[in-house]
């Protein structure tokens, strides 16, 4: 008999059905927004993860601690990483 109770309640009043459906829809939308926000936060690289900036690389190259080839390789990697994080923000 306990499974008949919700059926009787749902069959009794269409206003209650609409209110419950609306509340459920609102909860699903809010939950989706929270999940979307959390995924963006997880995917976004923090500034601490970037070991070097372009100015750091230039300085190392100018000091002779990086060859021109090493500088260009590191710069390309850094630029690609920055472009990849920019695409997530769109």
- Note the pLDDT tens digit of each residue in 40-55: 888 876 655 556 788 8
Domain extent listing, the chain = 1-43, 47-90
The structure's pTM equals 0.41
Beta carbons of 81 and 89 less than 8 angstroms apart: no
Q: What is the DSSP string of 14-50?
A: HHHHHHHHHHHHHHHHHHHHHHHHHHHHHHSPPGGG-
pLDDT, one tens digit per residue, over 66-77 is 899 999 998 898
Q: Which residues contact 75 (CB under 8 A, 6 or more apart)?
A: 54, 57
**C-alpha distances in Å from residue 87, one per residue of 10, 54, 64:** 46, 19, 34
């Amino acid at each position: 008999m306990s499974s008949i109770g919700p059926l009787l309640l749902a069959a009794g009043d269409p206003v209650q059905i609409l209110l419950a459906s609306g509340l459920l829809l609102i909860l699903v939308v809010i939950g989706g927004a929270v999940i979307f926000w959390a995924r963006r936060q997880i995917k976004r690289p923090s500034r601490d993860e970037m070991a070097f900036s372009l100015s750091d690389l230039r300085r190392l190259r100018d000091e002779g601690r990086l060859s021109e080839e090493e500088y260009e390789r590191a710069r390309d990697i850094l630029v690609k990483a920055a472009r990849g994080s920019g695409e997530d923000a769109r």
